[in-house]
Amino acid sequence: MPLFNSEDDMNTQSLKSRKPSTRLCLMAGAAAIALCGSGSFVRAEGSDTAPPNRSIAYTFYDLRWAIHETKDTKEECPDGLAIVGPREYFKLKFPEDGTKRTQKETELAMEGEVFWPNTDPDTTHFRLAGGKTAPGLNLDGKTKPTDFTSPDGKPGVDNELFRVIGCIGNYRSGAVILTYDMQHYKQSTSVRSLIEVTDVDSLVNDDDVTVTTYRGRDILQVDASANSFAPGASQRLDLRWGKEFISQAKGKIVNGVLSTEPIKELRIPDESLAFISGSVERMRDARFELKLTPDSAEGVIAGYADLETFYANRARNWSSHHLSYASQTQQLVYKQLRKFADAYPDPKTGENTAISSAFKVKMIETRILRSEKEVAETKGEPSSSQFASDSSRAGSPK
Amino acid sequence: MQLERHSVEQKLENRFDLFTDSMSRETGADFNGRWRGAVAVLSLAFLVLMDAPAYAAKENMTAREDYIQAPLPAGFQVLVTEIEGPVFADANGRTLYKWPRRDLRVGTVGDVEFKASCGDQIFRETAGSMSPYPPGFELPEADTRPSCNQVWPPVLASDNAKPVDKWTVIDRPDGRKQWAYAGAPLYTSFLDKKPGDVLGASKTPASVDEGAPREPVGPEANVPFQFSVDTTKLGRLVSLRNGKSVYTYDLDSRHKSNCAGACMDGWAPVLSADYARPVGDWTTFERSPGVKQWAFKGMPVYEHLQDSKLLSLDGGDIAHWRNVYTQKAPLPPAGFVVKETSVGLVLGDERGRTIYMYSCLDDSFDHQLCDHPDAPQAYRFAMCGNGDPDQCLKAFPYVIARAGAKSGSATWSTMYINPKTGKRAQSSDPGALNVWAYRGRPVYTFAGRNGYGDETPLDLKAQNWGEFNGRWNGYRAIIYRDLYGRRDL
């Protein structure tokens, strides 16, 4: 895919909005395109060259809660994976002993409990994840005895959510539900998250960059293998319906790894199973740590997940039927979430309302396609690819 | 239209000042700051739905769908209803329904062609249709549970009734005769009280996890063969048979297209065959020598080339373009707002809080509705308050109607509810609440539990709240424009 769209690059309005250095690049003609454009940059892995227009964007194509997994589960789940799912829990509560029962006291009570969980003691021997390793980041700046070490050896990792969900099959690689979720994640534009990194002088080392999150509007471009995605595909920003997903943080790039300052509350659309629930993950003090290449980005987003939001999103997105695939009983998970929540105490009760956590995320490089109207409204730094949108030809979007 | 829009938008801006000020006062949050941007985007929604006089004048809210006239047996009629468009009704104006057979998670229920499965038997135990729960539990209010035929009375035929067109007469297991249409046995609903009521079911497609709902039956829309019409919350939406929406252009005039040149990059005229003849409101005209285009009520129709979803409304976001409806759905009553959220246009109350409906089919072999205030409330109470009606009132409060409130449509109404039982009440009953109802069902907001509830106009945190993603037994927002609910083209 060519770096510059000729229509855009000859667009006077776009040109005017660019920084002087960029303007010079563009005005210098074909020779400058070779220097400033993707021809030399995009495919040069590890190149210490500024991306065109000092910005680069990536679209998420895989987002999952970060847990540590070994093949035989022995390291993180020495007792094995969870075995008490909705069917088993139902039998524990209502044994087949000949008692005549009502739907209200059985099925409806079970389902009611999913949406109205409690912290009564759990007698099912919930299987918690443990060990010393977990993906994530050091959120509180401390290294405590209970903290994990990241897979690449960094101490002080805060990821209490891993303890709660790490031994539940639905969160682990190969799980049916996770597979469904990731299919939906790749296919639906309702969850099309992306980031734009601006003020980038080097994709290897730059101590001052800006990261902005958005929701996109377009499908992902599958590459010729049909198994992965092609870098360089365009993505329009959802500036109308997706306003709540826009956030911004300052960051730096060190040895090709982007780290950001915490975002007070990061909102990420996170639906599953193609049931449009409008569910949004809310992560406080969220920060990115991503290994960047010109074609892709991969790493973690870590912060404190809002406990009730995390729980309710699962209950809304995954029915008891689906949770039965891998022995996940929602109301039992809740008890552990409350137990391991480690941040943002409620001022009235003192109980923590958020839990340290992380997402593992994979992204593919993307060209943001802005309409002329959006370009005109951009008062700060222009993005890397401000192409005139096709829709703007037919009339101004309302 | 541009002048109209300008003045309307100014009014809306003023209204938003009031709205955000009100939200700030009510919640203590900075709605003029943090949420200002969020609520400001509601202006389009107000323009679409809430500025009734200008909108109604432009959109012709009183238009009703034309349908194909076909022979009817004596005693039947066609009524053009507010949301579902034309439906068949009996002599008393009661809407006719069918019960298409559907595979559930476990087993199958519904009628097969020419055979009625809804009878006089009273089922008192669960059928175990929905995984993961086993069958055999006593249903709520089993002692007073009606039979299928009590809530879905069969449309009986006399012994000498004769088939007419697609109308046939079938033998029931009880020896009586019943009318069928296109092979589907016909019923009325005990919920329909007056002509034009379609409270038993909707034509809107249901997913497998919504069970096997009934469907209203009606004549085909009188549209050319290449078009079809679907029920949406905004009205009866016209599309091509492949699901692509069609649009008209305000800058066109009767049988005159002004979309040419660059306009054609985004839009394609819907062409007609040379031999096509006018059909009802549909005509053809020659847009250029030898090229004929369809027109609806004289206005040329087009496809939006960038539409990627079935029944898309995206083209209507572009100035001067609008989707084609055979008839528009009624506006919500005064005091409600339609707002923009991450999933589309969603109904809100006067403070911008998302409005939810509760939907429910019971787990019996006759699949009775449990989503209305005449049904057992145990299902809803389980979801809204873990079985506790008081908790339900806190978590999912009813939307209270002011004294004397009128909706202006049959779709919206007010009703008295006993808040302790969730069932209908008389206005004189102590503690009875006068609440808003959509299609005969109360509507709710979501205050939530343990700090989790709708806090801003952007929130719809109780969407899919309930059993099987809220589809089988739970709450769902009233979404006027569902950005992601329809599958891709």
Test A316 with B209 for CB contact under 8 angstroms.
no
Cβ contacts of A77-81, under 8 Å, gap ≥ 24: A77/A127, A77/A129, A77/A130, A77/A166, A77/A167, A78/A130, A79/A127, A79/A167, A80/A127, A80/A167, A81/A127, A81/A167, A81/A168, A81/A169, A81/A172, A81/A326, A81/A327
Which residues in B lie closer than 8 A to residue A316 (C-beta atoms)? 463-465, 469-470
On whether any CB of chain B is under 8 Å from the CB of A395, the answer is yes
Residue A353 has pLDDT above 60, yes or no: yes
More confident residue, B349 or A16: B349
Does one domain contain both B315 and B371? no
Q: How far is B468 from chain A, CA to nearest CA, in Å?
A: 5
Q: pLDDT tens for residues B287-298? A: 999 999 999 999
Which residues in B lie closer than 8 A to residue A109 (C-beta atoms)? 382, 387
What's residue B279's pLDDT? 96
Does one domain contain both B302 and B393? no
Size of interface A-B (CB pairs under 8 A): 168
Give the residue from B286, B302, B328 where a domain finishes.
B328
- Asked if A17 and A255 touch (Cβ cutoff 8 Å), the reply is no
Domain presence at residue B378: yes
Residue B173 has pLDDT above 80, yes or no: yes
Residue A79 has pLDDT above 60, yes or no: yes
Does one domain contain both B248 and B350? no
B484 is in which domain, residue-wise?
1-52+330-489
What's residue B62's pLDDT? 85
What's residue A277's pLDDT? 72
Quick one: pLDDT band at residue A275, thresholds 50, 70, 90? low
Return d(Cα B427, Cα B433) in angstroms, integer: 8
Does one domain contain both B352 and B310? no
What's residue A226's pLDDT? 79
Work out how many domains chain B is built from and give that number. Answer: 2
**Average of pLDDT values for B420-434?**
97
Domain presence at residue B166: no
What's residue B486's pLDDT? 63
Which residues in A lie closer than 8 A to residue B321 (C-beta atoms)? 394-395
Does one domain contain both B308 and B341? no
* Cis-peptide into A294, omega within 30 deg: no
On whether any CB of chain B is under 8 Å from the CB of A392, the answer is no
Q: pLDDT tens for residues B360-393? A: 999 999 999 999 999 999 999 999 999 999 999 9
Q: What is the SS3 assignment for B362? A: coil
Residue A52 has pLDDT above 70, yes or no: yes
Give the residue from B300, B328, B356 where a domain finishes.
B328
Domain locations in chain A as residue ranges: 6-63+183-303+366-394, 65-174+307-360
Return d(Cα A18, Cα A24) in angstroms, integer: 10
Does one domain contain both B358 and B385? yes
What's residue A49's pLDDT? 78
Residue A276 is nearest to which of B343, B449, B450, comparing CB atoms? Answer: B343
For residue B421 the two structure tokens come to: 């039982």
Residue A278 is nearest to which of B133, B342, B382, comparing CB atoms? Answer: B342
Q: How far is B478 from chain A, CA to nearest CA, in Å?
A: 12
Q: pLDDT tens for residues A154-174? A: 999 999 999 999 999 999 999
Place of tokens 């985007």: B41
Test A277 with B469 for CB contact under 8 angstroms.
yes
Does one domain contain both B400 and B479? yes
Q: pLDDT tens for residues A101-142? A: 999 999 999 999 999 999 999 999 999 999 999 999 999 999
Does one domain contain both B486 and B394? yes
Q: pLDDT tens for residues B398-421? A: 999 999 999 989 999 999 999 999
Test A116 with B464 for CB contact under 8 angstroms.
no
* Touching B: A residues 52-91, CB under 8 Å: 86-87, 90
What's residue B489's pLDDT? 63
Domain presence at residue B156: no
Which candidate in A187, A241, A393 is best for mutational testing of the B interface (most B CBs within 10 A)? A241
Residue B265 is nearest to which of A242, A309, A393, comparing CB atoms? Answer: A393
Domain presence at residue B177: no
- Lowest mean pLDDT segment, chosen from A36-45, A308-317, B258-267, B425-434: A36-45
What's residue A273's pLDDT? 65
Quick one: pLDDT band at residue A274, thresholds 50, 70, 90? low
- Asked if B91 and B76 touch (Cβ cutoff 8 Å), the reply is yes
Does one domain contain both B279 and B351? no
What's residue B206's pLDDT? 80
Q: How far is A43 from chain B, CA to nearest CA, in Å?
A: 31
Residue A3 has pLDDT above 60, yes or no: no
What's residue B350's pLDDT? 93
On whether any CB of chain B is under 8 Å from the CB of A243, the answer is yes
Q: Identify residue A260 by its one-letter amino acid code.
A: T
Residue A209 has pLDDT above 50, yes or no: yes
Percentage of residues of chain B with pLDDT beyond 70: 87
Which residues in B lie closer than 8 A to residue A276 (C-beta atoms)? 343, 463, 482, 484-485
Return d(Cα B97, Cα B187) in angstroms, integer: 5
Return d(Cα B113, Cα B315) in angstroms, integer: 40
Return d(Cα A329, Cα A345) in angstroms, integer: 26
Residue A384 has pLDDT above 70, yes or no: no
Which residues in B lie closer than 8 A to residue A245 (C-beta atoms)? 342
Phi, psi of B424 (to 5 degrees): -60, 150
What's residue B308's pLDDT? 87
On whether any CB of chain B is under 8 Å from the CB of A210, the answer is no
Domain presence at residue B188: no
Give the residue from B269, B302, B328 where a domain finishes.
B328
Which residues in A lie closer than 8 A to residue B483 (C-beta atoms)? 190, 241
Quick one: pLDDT band at residue A78, thresholds 50, 70, 90? very high
- With 0-12 CB in 10 A as exposed, 13-18 as middle and 19+ as buried, what is A380? exposed
Does one domain contain both B394 and B456? yes
What's residue A375's pLDDT? 85
- Which residue of chain A is at minimal alpha-carbon distance from B318? A397
Does one domain contain both B334 and B473? yes
- Asked if B279 and B297 touch (Cβ cutoff 8 Å), the reply is no
For the residues of A78-144, what is the DSSP string, one character each? TT-S----HHHHHHHHS-SSS---BTTTTHHHHHHHHHS---PPP-S------SSB--SB-SSS---
- Which residue of chain B is at minimal alpha-carbon distance from A100? B137
Does one domain contain both B310 and B334? no
What's residue A48's pLDDT? 66
Test B138 with A103 for CB contact under 8 angstroms.
yes
Terminal-to-terminal C-alpha distance of chain B: 31
- Asked if B186 and B178 touch (Cβ cutoff 8 Å), the reply is yes
Test B378 with A108 for CB contact under 8 angstroms.
yes
Domain presence at residue B174: no
**Average of pLDDT values for A329-343?**
97
Residues 6 or more apart whose Cβ sits within 8 Å of residue A152: none
Residue A395 has pLDDT above 90, yes or no: no
Quick one: pLDDT band at residue A6, thresholds 50, 70, 90? very low
